[in-house]
Amino acid sequence: MLNKLKLVIILCFISIINIYANKRANEIMQSMWYSNNLAFSVTETPEKWENESAIIIAKYHRLEYKKIALSNELLHNDYFHQRIKLNDKNAINKYAELSFPTGRIGHDVYVGFKVIKPNGKEFIVDNNDAVEIKAESGNNKKGYMKLAIPKLEVGDILDYYICDELTLVLGEDTRYCISHSFSPVQYCLHQEYPIIEQQIELKAQRRCSIALRSTNGAPEFKLKVNEETGDNYYSLVDKNRDKLDGIRWFYPYRALPTIKFKVDYVSKKYSKKKWNVLLGKPGIAKSSILEDELITFIKSPVYSVLNVSIPRKYVKENIGKKGSDIDKAKWGYYSWRHYRHEKEEVKLISNYKMGSFYLDNDVSERYYLDFMHCFLKVIKVPHEIVVAADRDIADVDEIILDDEMRYFIRLKDGDKYFYLTAGNKYSFPGQLPPEVVNTKAYIINPADWSIKKEFLNTDRDFLNTENTNLSLAISDDLKTCKIHNTSSIDGNQRHAYQKELIDYYDRMADEEAYFHIYRNFKGALYSDLKKLNSLKASYLDNKETYVNNNLKDLVVNMYDFSIDTVNSFICHQTGIYDDKPEFKFSYNMQTEDLIHKVGRNYILDVGKLIQGQVKIEKEELNRKQDIYMYSSRKYNYTIKVDLPDGYTVQGLDKLNINVENDQGGFMSTASIESGQIVINTSKFYNQYFSKAETWDNYIDFLNAAYKFTEQKLLIKKL
């Protein structure tokens, strides 16, 4: 009897939930499809966009943030509604299937999809036909729903909404529900398709603060009042936006109308804490940061307990009082870097399968700033704090979100500056991140907490340089090319290679010259030691295979010819210390795709040996947007080809090229030396930023490099 009663109660509870869910789903459908928003009643589109693949007739995006009174819960509601006209098969293929989140406890998802035919007839797609797609990322298991939109034809209008209502539980004890930062949003008003009208609304209530800014000519948000509820919200209406064309070397957030915002919840009890000084008043948008606010923010460490004893002890024992301030700072950094990553052995050999107790996670730049500032202060080394923003995100004057800020430290080194940045396990002191070179930054002096703005520069030309030497031998049957590659990579470009090609054991082999290396999994539980040693042995047995597989993946993406094998990788220099900054390695590869028989002779696709090059398409010739580069950089190649016995070569004259201008250049020379074809090439980009009117200079040297890749040599029988 008791079990039946429990069952009845459960069924009643489920019934109540379903009734509420159906009621809420109907309310949202009414607000989306049957509201008074006239933008979503439009079916005609401008004639000027008739050749576009699709046209967004109307887009509506509303985000709500609210703290529930007398609880430990936050509400984050995201309502998205779009009406789009599909003008060709590409658009139909793109919208033939649409995805939306899977609902779960505390996360309700409401969706609606309908198709409007050119004759005005409408039909609603049944949401129950959606299929759940399961996905795993590491230890996280989550999925999404995918729904096929049937009967789509050219000229149809697709009108759909996806609405999320998410409840976040901050903690069981409301006394400790201090704060929560929602994910920042940066949104370019130009999209993939032209837009007739788009509306964005933001609503934050009960201790939720908004940092909000419009840049590059985007309309400003306006404060409005809901006549029915009396609630305040911010609204932006934008009309008649052309599509955002795919443009290479272009930063939309820096050049096109953009909005950005972030919402933070901070409890009333803790709202006056110094580390929250960048927050505005709850519910009122904050659109700028004052210099005094920034100083206070930097003065008050986010991480109040910072143990700097390890780098301090290392510097005291190894550098001493006679060392320069630069030496002390540099080796304090190396010490910090070493002990930050010293436990990564378990992470490597277990492939993330062991418990998190052993894993050493990366730290934030803000933590690094607080740590390094504290360390330098303790050892009495004068320094300055730099607050910058990546050039692709914002100018430092436009910073409004703490997520936009980059933090690092600099020391005076004669008439130059020595930088200390958080970096990664391959970084070394003295480097300035390329993302901030030639950008304006705040410079704060902690001696008196004064502040100024300066442009950041580096004194090293071509900080990012790749030098590649290729020795090519053609097989006796003239079918196969065996290539020995020796590379030396300097600057930040080396990190991508280091990440794939060297590991903990390679780094520690270098670091043991300076630091004590803990062996045999010190600190691990005794019950884990056998498993750890087994994992280590297995990893080391297969390490060569892992590295060569990673190397082949890199190489295949570099070259425009098929590669059969890649092997024999050797690391000659790890490039993790500033006295030997280049990452040096070599390997062999083999291909049958470079040499082809033509009658009695052979054609060698020698131009392809400098990797794939940029091809400027016809539609790219007339550029209106300025050019943004990640960094200045240089690529040098020396190629040596052994001529087969009984053969000579023709076509070397076409490989002598020289195109150089203020933006960059491409140069190549070719000759015969001691029976070898010797080719030297150099391609370089000089600028981080160039005005659109200099685009022809880029075209000149980019075309020269691309045409080089099309050059072939005739290997002619004597």
**Lowest model confidence (mean pLDDT) among 2-16, 34-48, 55-69:** 2-16
What confidence score (pLDDT) does residue 360 get?
Answer: 46
Share of the chain above pLDDT 90, in %: 61
What confidence score (pLDDT) does residue 140 get?
Answer: 55
- Name the nearest CA neighbour of 565 among 503, 478, 481: 481
What confidence score (pLDDT) does residue 274 get?
Answer: 46
- Name the nearest CA neighbour of 111 among 180, 38, 24: 24
577-606 burial, b at 16+ Cβ within 10 Å, e below that, comes to: beeebbbbbebbbebeebbeeeeeebebbb
More confidently predicted of 234 and 345: 234
What confidence score (pLDDT) does residue 500 get?
Answer: 92
For residue range 591-606, list pLDDT tens digits in order: 999 999 998 899 999 9
**Is residue 622 helix, strand or coil?**
coil
For residue range 486-514, list pLDDT tens digits in order: 999 998 889 999 999 999 999 999 999 99
For residue 327, the Cα-to-chain-centroid distance in whole angstroms is: 33
Q: Which DSSP letter does residue 577 get?
A: B
For residue range 337-348, list pLDDT tens digits in order: 898 887 788 888
Whether 408 and 420 have beta carbons less than 8 Å apart is answered as: yes
What confidence score (pLDDT) does residue 349 get?
Answer: 86
Confidence of residue 527 (pLDDT cuts 50, 70, 90): confident
What confidence score (pLDDT) does residue 358 get?
Answer: 45
What confidence score (pLDDT) does residue 341 get?
Answer: 83
What confidence score (pLDDT) does residue 4 get?
Answer: 58
Maximum pairwise Cα distance, the chain: 102
For residue 158, the Cα-to-chain-centroid distance in whole angstroms is: 32
More confidently predicted of 101 and 140: 101
What confidence score (pLDDT) does residue 174 get?
Answer: 47
More confidently predicted of 71 and 126: 126
Q: Which element (helix H / strand E) includes 16?
A: helix 2-33
Tokens found for residue 513: 């010259």
What confidence score (pLDDT) does residue 409 get?
Answer: 94
d(CA 630, CA 632) in angstroms, rounded, equals: 7
| Mean pLDDT within 268-292 | 73
| Mean pLDDT within 314-339 | 90
Share of the chain above pLDDT 70, in %: 90
Cα angle value 490/493/495 (rounded, 5°): 100
What confidence score (pLDDT) does residue 561 get?
Answer: 93
What confidence score (pLDDT) does residue 171 get?
Answer: 64
In this model, does residue 269 exceed pLDDT 90?
no
Confidence of residue 682 (pLDDT cuts 50, 70, 90): very high
What confidence score (pLDDT) does residue 3 get?
Answer: 61
For residue range 353-386, list pLDDT tens digits in order: 544 444 445 568 888 898 999 999 999 999 999 9
Enumerate the β-bridge partners of residue 717: 647
Confidence of residue 180 (pLDDT cuts 50, 70, 90): confident
**Is residue 285 helix, strand or coil?**
strand
- Name the nearest CA neighbour of 554 among 566, 543, 571: 566
In this model, does residue 10 exceed pLDDT 60?
no
What confidence score (pLDDT) does residue 580 get?
Answer: 93
Looking up tokens 């936006």 gives 241
In this model, does residue 689 exceed pLDDT 60?
yes
Q: Which DSSP letter does residue 272 get?
A: T
Alpha helix segments (H runs only) across 448-586 = 494-501, 504-511, 526-558
What confidence score (pLDDT) does residue 149 get?
Answer: 95
More confidently predicted of 460 and 620: 620
Secondary structure string (H, E, C) spanning 336-370: HHHHHCCCHHHHHHHCCCCCHHHCCCCCCHHHHHH
Confidence of residue 44 (pLDDT cuts 50, 70, 90): very high
* pTM (2 d.p.): 0.86
**Lowest model confidence (mean pLDDT) among 102-116, 225-239, 663-677:** 225-239
Enumerate the β-bridge partners of residue 325: none
Residue 472 CB contacts under 8 Å (≥ 6 apart), including other chains: 481, 482, 483, 594, 609, 639, 640, 641, 642
What confidence score (pLDDT) does residue 277 get?
Answer: 59
More confidently predicted of 216 and 277: 216
32-44 burial, b at 16+ Cβ within 10 Å, e below that, comes to: bbeeeeebbeeee
What confidence score (pLDDT) does residue 642 get?
Answer: 93
Enumerate the β-bridge partners of residue 635: 466, 683
Confidence of residue 276 (pLDDT cuts 50, 70, 90): low
In this model, does residue 523 exceed pLDDT 90?
no
In this model, does residue 459 exceed pLDDT 60?
no
What confidence score (pLDDT) does residue 350 get?
Answer: 80
d(CA 714, CA 655) in angstroms, rounded, equals: 13
d(CA 223, CA 285) in angstroms, rounded, equals: 9
Chain mean pLDDT for the chain: 88
